Structure 1
Amino acid sequence: MTLITVRPEPGAARPYAFPAVRRISAHGGTVIAAHLPGQVLATAVLLLDASAARETEGREGTATVLAKCLEEGTTARDSAAYALALEGLGAELSPSVDWDSFRVGVAAPAPLLAGAVRLAAEAARTPKLDPADVIRVRDDEVAALKMDWAQPGPRADAALRADLFAADGRYRRPLHGDPASVAAVSVDDVLEFHRSWMLRPGVLLVTGDLDEVDLDVLAEAAFAGTSGGLVAPEGPLGVPVPTRPHVLLVDRPGSVQSTLRLGHRAPERATPDYVPMTLAATVLGGAFTSRLNHQIREVKGYTYGIRGSYGMTRRAGRFEVAASVQTAVTGPAVRDTLHEIAETQATGVTEAELDVARSWRAGQLSVEMQTPGAIAGALATLVVHGLPDDYYERLRREYLEATVEQVSAAAAKHLAPGGLTLVVEGDAAVIRDELAEFGEITDVDL
C-alpha cells in the first residue's frame, strides 16, 4: 500500500466534443440521433408539442395528470402487464411535461431499444386512461400540491409569475398548476388533451451506440399510426419591464423567515445574448462564489443561500433572485440584494470574477454531457429552440472566450433593477412597514 501525502494538482482540462448528430425522416416523423460508441445503455425520447402551454385556462395541470397516467396501462395491457413488459426489456419509462414539450423517455440496453420505443409509443398514443385511474392520479397530484403549497416558496413563485406574465394567458399560472386548478381537471379534460396533442408524430431523440440500433425501425416504432403535421411555433412574448419596482406581499402569519422572489422579464432561450447573460448571472448569483451569496450569506449572515439566474423557455424568459432570510432582517436583505443587482447592471463584472464563471460554466457543461439521458436532453434543446446541430461545440468555446466587455454589456442590457417585482412571503404584520421603501405594496392572497 502506498500512502499519498501530497494532494494531486489539477491537470489540464480534457477536450470535449459533443457527439455528431444524425437526422432521418421516416414513417411520418423525424429521428434525431447522437452516436455514443460503446455505450450499452441507450435512451430514446419521444418529443411532442403537448406542453403545459397548451392547457385550457382553469385546468392547469392537465398535461401533468396525463403524464402520470401513462404508466397506468394501455388499451392493450393493464398496468401490471405493461410494467412486466418494460421490466422484460430492462427498460424504464419517464414521462414529463414542461413549458415547451411533453416528453416520453425510455432507457434500455441498445439492442432492445426498438422494443422499448414501441412500449413508450404505446403508452403515449394509446394510454388506457380508465376514469378511475385518472381520478386517482389527479387526486394524488392535488394532495401532493397541497403539501407543497403549505411550505414557503410555491405561493411566492406563483405570485411572481402571475405578475410578470399577467397579460400572457397560460404563462401567468404555475407550470404544473395549483391545488385548485388540478382539482378541476376532469377525465374529459385529460381525454381531450390527449386527442388534441398526443397523436401527432413528433420527434424521436435517440442517444447510445447507434451501431446497435436501426433508426428506421425506431422511427416505425415511434410514429406508427400517427397523423398530422407539426404545429407552427408561436413567436416570443416580448420583454415588457415596468418602469419602477413594486412589492407583492404574501402573508404567512407567524413565519420566522421571509421568502424572497425578485424578478423581471427577460428574452427567450434562443436569444443571441444567452452566453453573456448566463455568465453575468453566474457572477451575480449563479454560484456559491457569487456576489449575492458572498454579501447576503457570508458577510451579512441573513440566509443560508441566495441564487440569481435567468430561466428561459421557447417563448419567454425571466430573471429571478430567490432566497429565504430571517424575518428580522427582511428589509436589509432586500436592500442589499437590490444594491448588488444595480451595481452589476451599472458597472459590469471584473476579469477575476468572469474567469471563475467561464471555467465553471464550461466545466459544468462538459460534466453534464456524460450520459445518454443528458445528451438526449441536449438534443431536445436543439429541437425546441431551433438551434443548429453544432450548437454545443460552439457553446463551450463561447463560454471560455467571452470577454469582460461582452458580459458587462449583457448585464447592462438585460438586468433591470428599476423594474423589478419584489415578492415577499412572510409575516405581513411584522415586515410590512419596512418594505414600503421598495415600492408600492400590494397584498396577494393565493
Structure 2
Amino acid sequence: MTLIATRPDSGEPRPYQFPQIQRVTVGGGTVIAAHLAGQQLASALLLLDAGAAREPGGREGTATVLAKSLEEGTKSRDSTAYALALESLGAALSPSVDWDAFRIGLSAPVPQLAGAMRLAAEASRTPRLDPADVTRVRDDEVTALRMDWAEPGPRADAALRADLFGAAERYGRPLHGDPASVAAVTVDDVLAFHRQWMLRPGVLLVAGDLDTLDLEELGEAAFAGTSGDPLAVDPPLGVPVRGERRTVLVDRPGSVQSTLRIGHRAPERATPDYVAMTLAATVLGGAFTSRLNHLIREVKGYSYGIRGSYAMTRRFGRFEVAAGVQTAVTVPAIVDTLGEIARTELDGVTEEELAVARSWRAGQLSVEMQTPGSIVNALSTLVVHGLPDDYYATLRRDFLEATVEQVSAAAGAHLHARGLTLVIEGDAAVIRDELTAADLGELVDSEI
C-alpha cells in the first residue's frame, strides 16, 4: 500500500458552452427555451410566482401540501386516470416549492411533450383537490415532518432562521413549515392559496431539441385558461448584521453529539459579488479540501464533516456553517470554527487555495449542466433572479478569472465573524457551563 501525502493538482478546465436561448410570448405568458440538438428527452418547468413566501402566517406548509396534492387527480380525471394518462406519454410530473416559486417540472419524449404539457397544466390549473385527498396528504406531511424533527438538525435550522429573520416573519420560519403549522393547514387554506396564486400564466421553461418542438404550441398548452399580469417583485430584505455574537442553545437531552448551525444574513442571489462570495465560501467550507473541513475533520477529528456556504434567494441570503461534533468537544470545535471564519474575513484567501476553488466550481458547473432537467433549472435561476440571458455564458469564465484580490475583498465584506448567531443543539445539562465559560456571546435558550 502506498500513502499519498499531497493531493493531486487540478487539471485544465475543459471547454463548455451553455445552449442558445429562445424566447416566445404566447397566451399571456412567456416561453424561454434552450436548444439541445438531438436531445429526444425534453424537460419543461412551469414557473409560478407562488412560492412559500406567499403563504399566510401560521399556515406555513400550505404550498407544499398543494404541490403534493396535484397528482391526486384533476377536475376531469381521478388520480388513477391521471396517472395512466401521464404514463401513456412516458411523462413524469414533479411539483415542488421553494421560497421564490412554485415549480411544476415535467419530462417527456420530445414528440409527447405538448400532450404532457397539457396534462401538467390540467393538474396545476384545475386540480381535483378533493377534501379527503388533501387531508390525507397533509396528514402524511405532518407525520413525515414529525419524524424528521425527531432527528438532530431541523430544530437547529429553525432556531437559526428564527434568530436571523425573526420568528414572526415568514422568512424566519422553515421553508416547508413545521409539524404544528402544517397540521393547522385546512382544505380551505389550500383551495384559497390555489385560487390566489396559481391561475396567472407564469413562465414556461423548456430544454430539448428545439428543431422538433413547437414553442407556441407548448405555451398555449401551459397558459390556457389563465389571466392576470406578473406580480410585482418585492425588494431585497437587506443585510443587517448585529455587532456581537449570540449563542442559542437548543436542548436535546442525552444527545451524544452537538449539532452546530452558525450563520448570519447575507445578500440576495442577484448580488454582483456572487462569484467572489461563492469562491470565498468554497475555500472556507464549501469543498472537502476547505479550511474548515481540513481543521475540524482531518486535523482535530471533531467531526465527520463540516460545511460552510452562502444560500441565496430572490430577497435574502444567508451564510451558514453546519456540522455535527462530539459532545465533549463542542466548545473547542466552535472556537476553531470561529477562528477560521475570522481568519478568512481578515486575511482573505491564497492563490493556491483559490486555484483549487476556481477549478472545482467551474468544473462542477459544467458537470451539472449536462441534462435537460439541469438546463431548465438553470433557466429558472435567470427568471427568478432577473439575470441576463447570457449569464451562464459568462459565469464559468468569471469563476475561472476571479482574482485573489476580488475574492479576499468579498470575504472581508460578506463574512462577519463578530456578528454570527451560534446555534448548538445538544445536551444542555452537559454543555451549558462550558458554553457560558467560553463567553462566545450572549447565551439564550431556544423556544423551538
Q: CA deviation at 1:12?
A: 4.7
Does the Cα contact within 8 Å between 2:13 and 2:359 map onto a contact in 1? no
- Counterpart Cα distance in 1 of 2:238 and 2:168: 10
CA deviations 1:19-73 (Å, max 9, x no partner) are 0110010111100000000001001110000000000000000000000000000
2:81 matched residue in structure 1: 81
Q: SS of the counterpart of 1:157?
A: helix
| Contact 1:91 1:108 survives alignment (8 Å) | yes
Structure-to-structure mapping, 1:191-270, within 5 angstroms: 191-270=191-270
Distance in 2 (CA, whole Å) between partners of 1:133 and 1:162 is 32
Cα distance in 2 between the residues matched to 1:25 and 1:159: 43
Report the Cα distance in structure 1 between the residues aligned to 2:17 and 2:142, rounded to whole angstroms.
43
* Letter of the 2:410 counterpart: A
Aligned to 1:438: 440
Contact 2:206–2:376 at 8 Å: present in 1 too? yes
Given that residues 19 and 35 in structure 2 are in contact (C-alpha distance below 8 angstroms), is that contact kept between their aligned partners in structure 1? yes
The AA in structure 2 aligned to 1:191 is L
Give the letter aligned to residue 99 of structure 1. W
Aligned to 1:412: 412
Match of 2:354 in 1: 354
TM-score (norm 2): 0.97
- Name the count of aligned residue pairs: 438
Give the corresponding residue for 1:185: 185
Q: Deviations over 1:89-114 (max 9, x none)?
A: 00000000000000001100011100
In structure 2, what is the equivalent of residue 95 of structure 1? 95
Q: CA deviation at 1:445?
A: 2.8
Residue 6 of structure 1 aligns with which residue?
A: none
**Which amino acid in 2 is paired with 1:144?**
A
Q: What is the CA-CA distance between 1:13 and the residue it aligns to?
A: 3.5
Letter in 2 for 1:315: R
Q: Is the 8 A contact 2:13 2:362 kept in 1?
A: no
CA distance in 2, matches of 1:167, 1:404: 38
Read off the aligned partner of 2:446 and give its amino acid letter: V
Shift of 1:304: 0.1
Counterpart-to-counterpart distance in 1, 2:211 and 2:174: 42
In structure 1, the partner of 2:40 is 40
Q: Taking every aligned residue pair, what percent have the same amino acid on both sides? A: 76
> The residue matched to 2:71 in structure 1 has which SS?
coil
Q: CA deviation at 1:10?
A: 8.8
Deviation at residue 239 of structure 1 after TM alignment: 0.2
Residues 347, 408 of structure 1: 8 Å contact kept: yes
Deviation at 1:212, TM superposition (A): 1.4
Question: How far is the alpha carbon of 1:167 from its aligned partner?
Answer: 7.3
Residue 391 of structure 1 corresponds to 391
Q: How far, CA to CA, are the matches of 2:95 and 2:267 in structure 1?
A: 28
Structure 2 residue runs of 5 or longer lacking an equivalent are 1-8
5+ long unaligned stretches in structure 1: 1-8
In 2, the alpha carbon distance for the partners of 1:414 and 1:168 equals 26
* Kept in 1: contact 2:52–2:98 (CA 8 A): yes
User: Residues 311 and 168 from structure 1, CA distance in 2 versus in 1: closer, same or farther, beyond 3 angstroms?
Assistant: farther
Shift of 1:434: 1.5
Report the counterpart of residue 304 of structure 1 in structure 2.
304
8 A Cα contact 1:30 1:202, kept in partner: yes
Q: Retained in 2: the 8 A contact 1:251–1:427?
A: yes
CA contact (8 A) 1:86 1:92 kept: yes
- 1:102-153 deviations in whole A, cap 9, x for unaligned? 0001100011100010000000000000000000000000000000000000
Distance 1:106 1:322 in 2: 33
Is the 2:45–2:204 Cα contact (8 Å) retained in structure 1?
yes
Q: Distance in 1 between matches of 2:107 and 2:260?
A: 38
Q: Where in structure 2 are the equivalents of 1:152-191 lying within 5 Å?
A: 152-166=152-166, 169-191=169-191
Letter aligned with residue 174 of structure 2: P
Residues 41, 208 of structure 1: 8 Å contact kept:
yes
Deviation at 1:14, TM superposition (A): 2.8
CA contact (8 A) 2:264 2:420 kept: yes
Normalised by the length of structure 1, the TM-score is: 0.97
Partners of 2:78 and 2:279 in 1: how far apart?
49
Give the match's secondary structure for 2:93: strand
1:425–1:167 distance in 2 versus 1, CA, 3 Å? closer
Root-mean-square deviation (CA, aligned residues, Å) is 1.0
1:334 corresponds in structure 2 to: 334
Distance of 2:245 and 2:169 partners within structure 1: 23
Shift of 1:15: 1.1
Q: Which runs of 4 or more aligned residues in structure 1 lie more than 6 Å from their structure 2 counterparts after TM superposition? A: none
> In structure 1, what is the Cα distance between the partners aligned to 2:167 and 2:387?
28
Match of 1:148 in 2: 148
Which amino acid is the alignment partner of residue 267 of structure 2?
Answer: P
- The 8 Å contact of residues 10 and 359 in structure 2, kept in 1 or not, is answered as no
Q: Deviation at 1:435? A: 1.3
SS at match of 1:249: strand
Q: Partners of 1:36 and 1:113 in 2: how far apart?
A: 15
What is residue 118 of structure 1 aligned with on the other side? 118
